[in-house]
Structure 1
């Protein structure tokens, strides 16, 4: 029964089908967003106190990225039973896409001036651009280090951890409907606040990212701690314990970034990824020394 539920939600076939659906939905949402912007700018429809997401066509890129992020969440759950390291890497991909989404939003609000570095919003935009390049490279290093450690690939098929993998499959299967419900609620809330609410919540990027992803990473932290505790049943290797504990710290740092803004937000995100990369590198050194 468990395997059938797992296959229903997280099989390769379902993953491929979900990818196609998300692509179509992203395209449709992008076109719909553009249409709304056009209707508002032409005064064909009137939305009082509408957000900046309806004032510039460039802002329409923000919407499809929101759906792409939902698919990244699905991929994170897909890889949870397969590889702890790739599962963490997907977390880094998600936070990177959140930053890219923010860049697209800020592009529509830039103030072009000769005093570029005297305008706070332009400075933060520049910091985000530099940060995403650094994050992109760090994630590459992270995945490269995963592949360089053959132990990680063979670990999945070891007989002594089959039960642990089954547990991870059960957790991943349980989380799919949980995150689906959370995403539907958050998406509805975001659409209302973005386009129709007079509270203008979308003027604060911190509040935008708190929709879904703040709760999402809170749940991930709890899941990571649970998996760490269960991992002691099949392995008490020091380097594995430190690696998994370090990954939890990395996730917590990402979670904390949602409660900050500006340069502190970026610093926490970069620190989280750097910490994960360094932890994995040291873990690999331990593995190499034991061979």
Structure 2
């Protein structure tokens, strides 16, 4: 079993695999950007009428949305890649993914801004304001979270044997997650293409695909976080560590809830989720510092 795990881990999550996937994703992002851009101009010149009434091909800026989708896929892989290596980096990747989703929304918002004196009376312009402020706030909160995560890692004093056992359990989860998310992404893509062929072009918009895959993705992450919490009970019964892991689950649930909301409520849920995670790790590190003293 251990030999099989080592082989699968090397295939899915080794540094060589990570570097290969990074190159493939970057090439796909570049190619997809130019294809989307070409389709936009062909549609404007009326050379093609495919999705001519859709938000997809209304503005060249919208083409940035497509490569960002591939970057998000790579971030999902990195989240799994870092799961066995660092728990705080794994949580950080969750926050980075939801921030990149907001950044991706900004490009959609930019392509449809009306730029009038009634800025705060126009729903699209108002949403752009929410998103751009949220992206700056999240960028800073993630920076602070990373700082606290590194500080905690330096002061970690758990027994080496317990850490190694916990890492082995996390490797098993990571090896399972790679093919699972690949299947989820494939099924989502095929389902979307099927809907695309059956839908009229004017019914297709960025709003209908912005949460595609990621609502199910964060649902799975909640389950993974719960499993990690339960496994952690085998290696520690310290109150502050249990609260930390439980707090991260709450943070992930708040992010998942944001996909079921829209407008300001959705944006606030995301900011509150990351702020809550930062508060949890700050208090956790206070406990660690007190214990060492």
Distance, in Å, in 2 between the alignment partners of 1:231 and 1:150 is: 16
1:263 corresponds to = 264
Distance, in Å, in 2 between the alignment partners of 1:128 and 1:57 is: 20
User: 2:131 is paired with a residue of what secondary structure?
Assistant: helix
Query: Is 1:132–2:135 an aligned residue pair?
Result: yes
Q: What RMSD, in angstroms, separates the aligned Cα atoms of the two structures?
A: 1.8
Shift of 1:152: 6.0
Distance, in Å, in 2 between the alignment partners of 1:82 and 1:98 is: 24
Deviations 1:219-272 (A, max 9, x none): 010111011001100111100000000000000000000000000000000000
Q: Structure 2, unaligned stretches of length 5 or more? A: none
Deviations 1:158-212 (A, max 9, x none): 212322211110111111011011112223444565698327554362x323310
Distance, in Å, in 2 between the alignment partners of 1:142 and 1:201 is: 40
Distance, in Å, in 1 between the alignment partners of 2:32 and 2:248 is: 34
Relative to structure 1, the CA distance from residue 116 to residue 142 in structure 2 (aligned partners, 3 Å threshold; closer, same or farther) is same
Q: Is the 8 A contact 1:75 1:90 kept in 2?
A: yes
* Matched residue count: 289
1:69 pairs, out of 64, 72, 87, with 72
2:216 corresponds to = 215
Deviations 1:90-122 (A, max 9, x none): 000000000000000111111121111111110
Q: TM-score, normalised by structure 1?
A: 0.94
2:188 corresponds to = 186
User: 1:211 is paired with a residue of what secondary structure?
Assistant: coil
Q: Which moved more, 1:267-276 or 1:50-59?
A: 50-59
2:281 corresponds to = 280
Q: Is the 8 A contact 1:81 1:166 kept in 2?
A: yes
